[in-house]
Structure 1
Amino acid sequence: MHTTKRWNVDILLSEETEGDRSRTMAEVGLDAEDGTSLRGHGMAQKNPIDSDVPEIGDELAVSRALSDLARQLRLAASEDISDNTSTPWLP
């Protein structure tokens, strides 16, 4: 038997700039067909002496948000394993 599932991940980026400082925030949302919904968050801040390259802030913020989402998925898997086997699993 072959089963295909679809999990969609949305990425939302926002940037705040004040003077020579800027901060990029990312939120990644996972919505699975089974109703699972998780949100990961990440942030990047430009050092005032750095060149203005917004793509770098986007990349860092999104990678941090995805890392946060991955941590949450491992925690959910750990809880499911423990619930289904009565054996704790540490992520």
Structure 2
Amino acid sequence: MSKNWNVQMSITELDRVTMCEARLTGKNGVTLVGEGSARANPADENVPAIGDELAAARALSDLAHQLLHTAVMDIEAHTHETVRGMEV
């Protein structure tokens, strides 16, 4: 059996701030949204691609933590025991 989960990332820039929203859809129709941002130092050269990369990485990291938290909650709901050893 094959399953597809899709992540759509939207990146916006305003002045020297880059924001990214990563939306995961697929798990029983539930959508999780991760957010990340990057702010360029005014003294640094303006390289928008770096802001995109940082904001996207932070949004995906946020999304990964939410997904791990969801998995822990699901495990605990099924086992009725506290999950140990997983960073959430």
What interval of TM-score do these two structures reach, taking the shorter chain for normalisation?
over 0.9
Q: How do 1:1-91 residues align onto structure 2 when only pairs under 5 Å count?
A: 3-17=1-15, 22-32=16-26, 34-90=28-84, 91=88
What are the ranges of 5 or more consecutive residues in structure 1 without an aligned counterpart? none
SS at match of 1:10: strand
Point out 4+ residue stretches in structure 1 off by more than 3 angstroms. Answer: none
Q: Percent of pairs identical after alignment?
A: 45
What are the ranges of 5 or more consecutive residues in structure 2 without an aligned counterpart? none
CA distance in structure 1 between the aligned counterparts of 2:82 and 2:63, rounded to whole angstroms: 21
CA distance in structure 2 between the aligned counterparts of 1:51 and 1:33, rounded to whole angstroms: 41
Letter in 2 for 1:34: N
After TM superposition, the score normalised by the length of structure 1 is 0.90
Structure with bigger gyration radius: 1
After TM superposition, the score normalised by the length of structure 2 is 0.93
Letter in 2 for 1:15: E
